[in-house]
Amino acid sequence: MIHSEEIHCPYCNSNNLQKNGKSCTGEQRWRCKECKKYFQRSYRYNARRQGIKDKIIEMTLNSSGVRDIGRVLKISKDTVVALLKKTLHINPYFITKQEQHMFDYLDVEIVFSGEMDEFWSFVGNKSNQRWTWYAIERKSGCI
């Protein structure tokens, strides 16, 4: 008996799909012709599952630490740090002095109730230290 299951895109729910090779683990890769996104039906690495990035950000906003997030979601703490770095780079509230002129239109708001956390790492060797801080405004949940 042959069993066939119709596959749908997890992003747009379309069934207009095209096979797009295989991953290094041998899993079939698919490309949606509607939304042009790529996906697999199952992933070997938990960090690649759909919605995991949203969970990392949500847990960060709920004051979970990097190691705690990694342990709960069963992913590497390095993956958590990498995603937070990408998020911090995209979010206009985290600006460097070089980027400050690009965000002159932002209104500065004084926050009286917030939470802050930091984590330390190094690049290459321990003499090349990097610190990352993030703060959360309690009422709105903005980072």
pLDDT digits (tens, 9 = 90+) for 52-67: 888 888 888 777 888 8
Read off φ and ψ for residue 59, nearest 5 degrees: -70, -35
pLDDT digits (tens, 9 = 90+) for 97-112: 554 554 455 455 555 5
Residue 83 has pLDDT above 80, yes or no: yes
pLDDT value of position 5: 77
Picking from 17, 75, 2, 81, the residue whose alpha carbon sits closest to that of residue 43 is 75
pLDDT classification of 143: cutoffs 50, 70, 90: confident
Is there a contact between 34 and 9 (Cβ–Cβ < 8 Å)? yes
Residue 17 has pLDDT above 70, yes or no: yes
Tokens coding 20: 């797009």
User: What is the number of other CB atoms lying within 10 angstroms of the CB of residue 100?
Assistant: 10
pLDDT value of position 31: 94
Tokens coding 16: 């207009």
